[in-house]
Structure 1
Amino acid sequence: MRYMLMVKANGYTEARVKPSEEHNAAMLAYQHSLAEAGVLLAAEELRPSSAGIRITYAKGSEKPEVLAGPFPIDPALVAEFTLINVDTEEEALDWAMRMPIPAERGASYAIELRRLEDKKENSRDPKLFTLEAELKDYLRL
């Protein structure tokens, strides 16, 4: 199951204030541990909303409104994400709880954990799941 760990934006991430060397080292170690466990699919930092574009559709309107950033800091704004592939939600939560957050800043931080919808998951032959699991076990030796 694929999960996305989304680190929410705050004033520091929007202002592109870089974290400390200690935090960078902790984050690299965290990502290395994800990779060593074979669960890391991607880890990326997003540019601030000032470099973004938002496309919105008003209710009943077919024509979109295109807005250039910056956008107000709200709970929907994401600063970075990590994409992992794990067996259970508990495992995903465990990895999310291990993610280092800069401690030296006075800002609040939030991580949102969400499972990705896998539309093909329900339509695949169960034999393929078994073969895939056996191959993954073999590659982890």
Structure 2
Amino acid sequence: MMATPFEEMLETMGRFNEELIRAGVLVAAEGLDDPTQGVVVDFGGEAPVVTDGPYGETKELFGGFYLIDVASKEEAVQWARRLPASAGAKCEVRRVPTIDEFPQDNEWVIRERAWRERTGQL
């Protein structure tokens, strides 16, 4: 059972999302479905093995994600500290490398850059 009523949680998260939007840093934000509805593809053997998720020993799973465009790790951490999370929740902060950080003469990087340009992502 959820500790916070669903409507209250939506309002709280909505207000935080609005702050991110007003600050001009929000790129994407999505909730994730219950981990029992997913699958795990394990590449530990000769052929990939698909099993119902989540990993059997997993104790901590993320319920969603934010993708923000900020100037520094410190700024990302400042936003993460403001996340309206419930007691005991955790938030992982990781940088997403840009395509510009990969070798620009690599065939696959060239193809991806062309795809991103065609789809308006560059």
TM over 0.5: yes
Which has more strand, going by share of residues?
1
Q: Name the counterpart of 1:64.
A: 48
Q: Name the counterpart of 1:96.
A: 80
1:18-39 Cα shifts (integer Å, max 9, x gaps): 8423332221111001011110
Query: Deviating runs (4+, > 2 A) in structure 1?
Result: 17-24, 69-75, 121-124
1:44–1:82 CA contact under 8 A, matched in 2: yes
Aligned residue type for 1:81? F
Q: Name the counterpart of 2:10.
A: 24
Give the deviation of 1:101 after TM superposition.
1.3
Give the deviation of 1:102 after TM superposition.
2.8
Task: Indicate which of 91, 103, 108 corresponds to 1:111.
Answer: 91
2:35–2:53 CA contact under 8 A, matched in 1: yes
Q: Which has the higher contact order (CA 8 A, sep 6+)?
A: 1
1:39 matches 2:19: no
Q: Name the counterpart of 2:65.
A: 81
1:49–1:71 CA contact under 8 A, matched in 2: no
Count of aligned residue pairs for this structure pair: 102
State how far apart, in whole Å, the 1-side matches of 2:51 and 2:102 are.
37
CA 1:95–1:122: 2 relative to 1, 3 Å: same
Q: CA RMSD in A?
A: 2.2
CA 1:54–1:18: 2 relative to 1, 3 Å: farther
State how far apart, in whole Å, the 2-side matches of 1:94 and 1:36 are.
16
State how far apart, in whole Å, the 1-side matches of 2:59 and 2:102 are.
34
Segment of structure 1 superposing worse, 61-70 or 90-99: 61-70
Give the deviation of 1:80 after TM superposition.
0.7
Give the deviation of 1:122 after TM superposition.
5.8
Question: Which runs of no fewer than 5 residues in structure 1 stay unpaired?
Answer: 1-11, 125-141
